[in-house]
Chain A
Amino acid sequence: MSLAEPAALSVAASAPPRLHLARRFIARFKASLPAYLLLLPSLVFLALFTYGAMGRVLIDALYQRATPKAPLRFVGLDNIRAVLADPAFTGAVINNLIYAVGTAIPSIGLALLFALALARTNAVTSALRAALFLPVLIPMVAASALFLFIFLPNVGLLDHYIGRLLPVLPNWLGDPDIALYAIMIITVWKNAGYYMLFFLAGLQAVPEDVMEAAHLDGAGPFMRLRYIILPELKPTFLFVIVIATLNAVTQVDHVFVLTQGGPSNSTNLVLFYIYQQAVEHFDVGKASAATLLTLAALMGLTALSFRTMADREGGA
């Protein structure tokens, strides 16, 4: 785009500007018409299933029924106000924040550790990489079903081994103090291998000559990590943090399978709250309002992260 603008300016000076611009526009449109036509089918489907749905959410968020038999009426921002005043929603937001921080940091830390340990390619590291990547290949629902047996109180796999050490066996999914952390363990187990891939790719990009020079200058492994590898991995970090945060908001399969948001709402995450409002309470207005709030938060987050990335690239 930045290349096209000066060219357009210099031509515009030589001819009657309006007519020329219009002709130019038509010519451009003619030239790109086949492209638009080719894009039309996807545009139709995007409009039907993505933009249409988003528009519908926006409209639905503005309407509400006062009583079950009353007609829908326009209520403006009342639904959003109701969602913000709902302790279950605030609870879900807090749970989601704990969940996001508590899954992102350990899984990214583990992923970095794995990547550093397995950076060199040989038969052993390839096998280990495959083993660590395996959880990524298991669908979340299947993984949750597996963990249902691992977490079974008293008779599950975990209690079978840990039970010898602890005086009182924890009820992993039935105790509101523990359940969210149990859910977080699954997420870390599932995601660490995936993020490891990004760090492995990032490590390939660390310049070999710089590393060699550091080696010759007598920098130890820690110094090399601190002053060369970590700074080189910065873009990877930013990318993985964004992915991890998005995952924390968009993945709720394990909540469905393992706890249904319970016990006592202790594992209720924002997306599950939306599902509850829409499906259990049959309250489309409130569900749409909560969706809008979540979408706004996610868009803000994405914009922020892209800006950080752009800043970094500009500064480098």
Chain B
Amino acid sequence: MLFSRRLMLGLAMAGTLASALTFPALAGEGPTEIDLYFPVPVDGKLARDMGTLIKEFNDGHPDIKATAVYTGSYDDTLIKTRASIKAGKPPAAVIMSANFLLDMQIENELTNLDALIKADGTTKEQFLGQFFPALQGNAVINRSVYGVPFHNSTPLLYINADKAKEAGLDANKPPQTWAELTDWAKKLTKRDGDKVTQWGIAIPCAYDYCGWMMETLTMSNGGRYYNEEFGGEVYYDTPSMLGALTWWNDLVSKFKVHPPGATPGPAVSTSFISGNAAMMMLSTGSLTYVRDNAKFNYKVAFIPRNVRNAVPIGGASLIIPAGVEADKQKAAWTLIKWMTSPEKSAWWSRATGYFAPNMAAYKTPDMVDFLNKNPDAKIAVEQLDVAKPWFATYKTVPVRKNLEDEVMLVLNGKKQPKDALVAAQKAADETLKPYNAETSLKLP
């Protein structure tokens, strides 16, 4: 008896398991259900704001039910999106770091949005015309639209106005050139013997931030960092980048006005807030954090130039991954257009500190009010006139790291700028080799 009872038990368990595996819950009829993957690159409040936004969308669109799925950092969001594409169940829309689009397009992971734009009866030019021109470079690949700018940023120079005043400097006339900035940093550095008690300036260098800051300095030194038209080339071993890295290194080891070593973004902002660093270069995305936490007067200014005023953009675009079914694609497109409309764009900008990519957002009455109350939020928008696309290549992250690892060695006094850039160029060329073999070096 014991035998058969055991057997029955085993069979019953196996049976339950099998039925659980083979009969998933039947999908109900109703609104088109879509998922939106969204990263939180700045702070926790953003997740709540996203919930508010999506609820408002669902209330206004009864035929679509969108769900916002939190997916971690920008890098994590790329990983999760790629995993779900591979598994055959891509989300209908993703807020994707703007410079990952090219890499994804090369890997056939994006839906070309041209057809959806055409179906609306608009032209590509009209559609893109809504957005600041600086943002279009990262959204358009081979003259096709692959992404819609959602929230964006540029790097800024933050100045502790109280410390500047103490040192006899006027923060209302911020430094405009590298020479002036070097001078300011020297005056703002306080020493106690050999020991520095207050740093003149801090620039972040951790993976991701370091590449962005190198691009910022290279661009304001007249350079380009990468080929905007083709994903197989970067310009690391160039005079413009050599000048940029040498100056950064000089701030550290020659003038000793910048803390040595590689310092991540949060450490730099903490240092600024605590008064340990009198100036810093950081994203406009940190502006809300600084506004809420600084117990002193601060000013934000353009990134100073050596050759020209130029900065890269940062931030994210909305994309539709490859392999999304037609009805979901249409629903996602409705969501994307709604989210990037002037009103929603402006609301999101005020909630997060990013600037709104849609130019009409700055004409909405709420936004005009907000900017009058917070004039520091205007600087990033004004700087957009000189902004350029964010570096994007085949395998963006490894190619960026090829440079960052070498820059970190320089900032730690382990390598000279020239040697570092030669090594970085060599490593990046190696990473880009397979793509070039298929494109620029594939000859008839």
Contacts and interface: CB of A to CB of B under 8 A. Distances in A.
B11 interface: yes
A265 interface: yes
A139 B262 CA distance: 26
A305 to B, nearest CB: 35
B76 to A, nearest CB: 9
Contacts of A105: none
Contacts of A152: 267, 270-271
Contacts of B75: 279-280
A34 interface: yes
Interface in B389-444: 394-395, 397-398, 401, 404-406, 408-409, 411-412, 414, 431, 434-435, 437-438
Contact of B259 (A33, A44, A153, A279): A153
A316 to B, nearest CB: 41
Nearest to B199: A154
A37 interface: yes
B243 interface: no
B398 A168 contact: no
B107 A44 contact: no
B398 A174 contact: no
A228 B419 CA distance: 58
B304 to A, nearest CB: 23
A168 B14 contact: no
A68 B14 contact: no
A33 B7 CA distance: 8
Interface in B62-83: 75, 79, 82
B261 interface: yes
B6 A38 contact: yes
Contact of A68 (B193, B394, B406, B411): B394
Contacts of A282: 82, 107, 395
Interface in B1-50: 3, 6-7, 9-11, 13-14, 17
Interface residues of B, number: 53
Given A262-B262, A262-B405, A155 B14 contact: no
Given A37-B10, A38-B9, A167-B195, A67 B435 contact: yes
Given A67-B438, A280-B397, A155 B263 contact: no
Given A68-B106, A70-B438, A37 B398 contact: no
Interface string A138-150: 0000000000100
B274 A174 contact: no
- Most chain B Cβ neighbours within 10 Å, of A37, A68, A69: A68
A44 B274 CA distance: 56
A235 interface: no
A102 interface: no
Interface in B247-284: 259-264, 266-267, 270-271, 274, 276-277
Contacts of B266: 148
Given A67-B434, A154-B276, A281 B7 contact: no
Contacts of B13: 37-38, 40-41
- Most chain A Cβ neighbours within 10 Å, of B195, B263, B267: B267
Contacts of A279: 75, 79
Contacts of A65: 434
Contacts of B166: none
B262 A174 contact: yes
A67 B435 CA distance: 6
Contacts of B408: 174, 176, 262-264
A280 B259 contact: no
Contacts, number: 125
A154 B260 CA distance: 11
B134 interface: no
B271 A154 contact: yes
B289 interface: no
B194 A167 contact: yes
B296 to A, nearest CB: 15
Contacts of A173: 264
Contact of A264 (B79, B259, B271, B409): B409
B263 A264 contact: no
Contacts of B406: 264
Contact of A171 (B3, B17, B262, B277): B262
Contact of B404 (A167, A174, A176, A262): A262
A176 B35 CA distance: 42
A37 B262 contact: no
Given A155-B276, A282-B395, A38 B262 contact: no
Nearest to B194: A167
A212 interface: no
B435 A37 contact: no
- Most chain B Cβ neighbours within 10 Å, of A44, A262, A281: A262
Contacts of A167: 193-195
B142 to A, nearest CB: 14
Contacts of A34: 3, 6-7, 9-10
Interface string A15-26: 000000000000
B207 A37 contact: no
B54 interface: no
B206 interface: yes
Interface in A51-78: 65-70
B270 A155 contact: yes
B443 to A, nearest CB: 14
A179 B242 CA distance: 27
A171 B438 contact: no
A40 B106 CA distance: 44
Contacts of A281: 395, 397-398, 431
A171 B259 contact: yes
A68 B438 contact: yes
Given A38-B9, A154-B277, A155-B267, 4 more contacts: A41-B13, A41-B14, A175-B262, A280-B75
22 contacts: A37-B6, A37-B13, A37-B14, A40-B14, A41-B14, A66-B434, A67-B437, A68-B438, A69-B108, A69-B438, A153-B259, A155-B267, A155-B270, A167-B195, A169-B195, A171-B259, A171-B260, A176-B409, A264-B405, A279-B75, A282-B107, A282-B395
Top 8 nearest A-B pairs by Cβ distance? A37-B10, A171-B261, A174-B261, A34-B6, A263-B408, A67-B438, A174-B262, A263-B262
Interface of B: 3, 6-7, 9-11, 13-14, 17, 75, 79, 82, 106-108, 193-195, 199, 205-207, 259-264, 266-267, 270-271, 274, 276-277, 394-395, 397-398, 401, 404-406, 408-409, 411-412, 414, 431, 434-435, 437-438
